[in-house]
Amino acid sequence: MERKSYPTDLTDMEWEILAPLIPPAKEGGHLPTTDMGEICNAIYYHLKTGCQWNMLPGDFPPRSTVYSYYSKWQGQGVWEKFNHTLGGQVRSKLGKSTQPTALAADSQSVNTDQKKGMCMVLTDVKR
């Protein structure tokens, strides 16, 4: 039986981009039996709807499995890697460098630490 489709589900093109960024299973361990695309779909559903983990629809993988991957990937910096990679691709399509090349600091909104000096914030300068 196929599961219901949700607006938060990854498209095939999105999955093609994200799949290589997902960490491989540990060597010597059990091979994953859960579809990583379905894990991502469940996580995106949770993030978009704001539902509690135990309120995930039953046609997703078990919530304990989904949360386990979410938590593990958060600790491994996988979400930052997703954002960095996807942000770079968007910048590239816009004809920009994949990395921001400018620094802008607003002394009105930058926090300072009197012991260590001023904190700088890296941002993109709109042109």
Q: For 48-105, what is each residue's pLDDT tens digit? A: 999 999 999 999 999 999 999 999 999 999 888 888 888 888 888 888 877 777 767 7
Nearest-angstrom CA–CA distance, 125 and 94: 14
Nearest-angstrom CA–CA distance, 39 and 78: 14
Residue 108 has pLDDT above 50, yes or no: yes
Nearest-angstrom CA–CA distance, 57 and 21: 26
**pTM greater than 0.75:** no
What is the distance, to the nearest Å, from the Cα of residue 30 to the centroid of all Cα atoms in its chain? Answer: 25
Q: For 10-44, what is each residue's pLDDT tens digit? A: 999 889 988 998 988 888 777 778 899 999 999 99
Nearest-angstrom CA–CA distance, 46 and 15: 17
- Read off the DSSP letter of residue 53: G
Q: What is the pLDDT of residue 6?
A: 95
Structural domain boundaries enclosing 69: 36-98
29 within a domain of the structure (yes/no): no
The domain total for the chain is 1
49 within a domain of the structure (yes/no): yes
107 within a domain of the structure (yes/no): no
103 within a domain of the structure (yes/no): no
Q: Please count the residues of the chain.
A: 127
81 within a domain of the structure (yes/no): yes
6 within a domain of the structure (yes/no): no
Q: Which helix (H) or strand (E) holds 98?
A: none
67 within a domain of the structure (yes/no): yes
